[in-house]
Chain A
């Protein structure tokens, strides 16, 4: 009987081994493909950025290194003697904070309320929130121009841009918040909280919002990214934010190094802020 068993086992073992070998080969090929794709796309994004950083550090002679361009943008001062880049950074940061705050205060409770109490409005809310995606910024400028002209009489600062930034950030924030809200059974949680004695305000603040922190941080991240990079509307409405100031510095100097250093500075600034926000999100994720 023993030879029969051995003969019987051999043909069974062979296809299994061959199959495992084929799977390993396929896995290796897939991994190699992944590395190639990752490298190509990495270079596609990294090369222009690295080149920009390199040009910003270009010395007087080609191929030499210098930080002169960076010194120039730091020492660049306005007629009042305040470095305009610093004030532009301040304004942009303030705009990011105000826009994010207004966005959250407006959208989070509205979305939760619609989800819990007036579900039939959800489609209309989605349509309204996604609408700004379909309107080019230049069209918004044309539409908002007269309003901002009126506001200009009030001598209000560039911080007034938050109105339009809230509109611009609405689709991104909405999508992030909607994704977060869809991951929790908001109706059951709210009913459980209410049956335990929570008011509607208590339901939102104590139960729903703590369960969508990740979504809120995502919405914040996207809103900040949008505000930090926004140029068109600020420029055409004649307000000065970071992007407009960087543009202005680069326009007022014949030095190409300054142009590149301003662009690099803008990118680094945005990266740093977004990194801080995503780090905060990851910490929340770890705590669980």
Chain B
């Protein structure tokens, strides 16, 4: 995609977006609502027209081709199986349009249903199977036509957590097995980080960072990416000589060339460790636990430092020794941090988008 733009009245949905996806790669587009990720997918599928820019697939410019001629397989967020057709007929629909002989069509449909583990449900209608199964049939239907690109528009968002995790892994397994180039749109960072080869974090119609999941998490390119992917403590600090001092701790900077002065440092909760503090002494890194959130293997502990709050992510066994009300001393691991010149209040923690 080169310089792709799309406006809806005064709203700029896509702003000269450039994106190259390698053959067989799975790229996840991640971002908050309204950042343009679904618009990108719809422009690619031909369901909407571009204002400017080009879409090139396999060296061929398909910008002006109608959706029906683009050779893209798409799975939608809403259940999109044709209600009057069985699972098998749904999967065979695209092949029927391509005038594939009935026997061959049926064979291919069954192969695809087997691939998604639903051959036993081949003759069931959409209203006779679960939501997760419907999305798997939709995936089989999209793959049956052997498209050049597979487009997945938040296909898991309507499913419950357990089915979602299972289907997410299944999508990745199938994508690797078939080797199909895939663009996956989601607002769930866990989903994106778990299955993508590269993650594109979008903001206001542009890609802020396109990189492998580990880089996006541990080396965010911008403060937006750092705040959007995972949680960050926003702590006021002073930059001096290429380092930032936050509440008495000196931390290395992730980027070079940051001018000296006051900034907001973005510190991951897992970089903060806590220990019981029994003495009456107080200091910039001594506070009181005000909440412990159980997350399974880990727990998130919120500490009131008097002038701000800070979050730490600990193993649940460590966190259980620090109930609400206990006095704790904090240590910040000297991981490289990003700084932002943003004037947002100190101590706010970016929330994970649900």
Contact = CB atoms under 8 A, between A and B. Distances in A.
Interface of A: 184-185, 188-189, 191-199, 202, 206-207, 210-211, 288
Contacts of B84: 210-211
Interface string B55-84: 000000000001111101110101111111
A197 B97 contact: yes
A207 B82 CA distance: 7
Given A185-B78, A288-B125, A198 B97 contact: yes
B184 interface: no
B96 to A, nearest CB: 9
Contacts of B94: 196-197
A195 B47 contact: yes
Contacts of B125: 288
B68 A188 contact: no
Contacts of B142: 195-196
A196 B80 contact: no
A199 B68 contact: yes
Given A194-B68, A195-B67, 11 more contacts: A188-B78, A189-B80, A191-B67, A192-B138, A194-B67, A196-B94, A196-B141, A197-B68, A197-B69, A198-B68, A207-B82
B181 to A, nearest CB: 15
B47 A197 contact: no
A189 B85 CA distance: 12
A197 B98 CA distance: 8
B93 A195 contact: no
Q: Which of A192, A211, A288 has the most CB of B within 10 A?
A: A192
Contacts of A197: 68-69, 94, 97-98, 145
A246 to B, nearest CB: 41
B47 A191 contact: yes
B338 interface: no
B225 to A, nearest CB: 31
B45 interface: yes
A198 B79 CA distance: 18
A195 B82 contact: no
21 contacts: A188-B79, A191-B47, A191-B67, A191-B76, A191-B80, A192-B76, A193-B93, A195-B45, A195-B68, A195-B70, A195-B74, A196-B93, A196-B141, A196-B145, A197-B69, A197-B97, A197-B98, A199-B68, A210-B84, A211-B83, A288-B125
A184 B94 CA distance: 20
A188 B82 CA distance: 10
A198 B96 CA distance: 10
Contacts of A207: 82
Contacts of A198: 68, 97
A193 B85 CA distance: 13
Contacts of B74: 191-192, 195
A284 to B, nearest CB: 10
Contacts of A192: 74, 76, 80-82, 138, 141
Contacts of B145: 196-197
Question: Which 3 residue pairs of A and B lie closest in terms of their CB atoms, listed nearest first?
Answer: A196-B94, A192-B80, A195-B74
Q: Which of A189, A191, A210 has the most CB of B within 10 A?
A: A191
Contacts of B98: 197
Contacts of B73: 195-196
Contact of B76 (A184, A188, A206, A211): A188
Nearest to A207: B82
Contacts of B76: 188, 191-192
B45 A196 contact: no
Contacts of A189: 80, 82
B344 to A, nearest CB: 38
A198 B151 CA distance: 17
Contacts of B141: 192, 196
B80 A184 contact: no
A191 B141 CA distance: 13
Nearest to B128: A288
A196 B138 CA distance: 11
B73 to A, nearest CB: 7
Interface string B72-113: 111010111111100000000110011000000000000000
A185 B81 CA distance: 10
A192 B94 CA distance: 10
A199 B72 CA distance: 14
Q: Which of B68, B78, B79 has the most CB of A within 10 A?
A: B68
Nearest to B151: A195
Contacts of A199: 68
B83 A184 contact: yes
A221 to B, nearest CB: 20
A197 B69 CA distance: 6
Nearest to A288: B125
Contacts of A195: 45-47, 67-68, 70, 72-74, 142, 151
Nearest to B73: A195
A188 B141 CA distance: 15
Interface in B223-255: none
Nearest to B67: A194
Contacts of B81: 192
B78 A193 contact: no
A207 B67 CA distance: 16
Contacts of B83: 184, 211
Nearest to A196: B94
Nearest to A197: B97
A126 to B, nearest CB: 24
Contacts of A191: 45, 47, 67, 74, 76, 80
A188 B97 contact: no
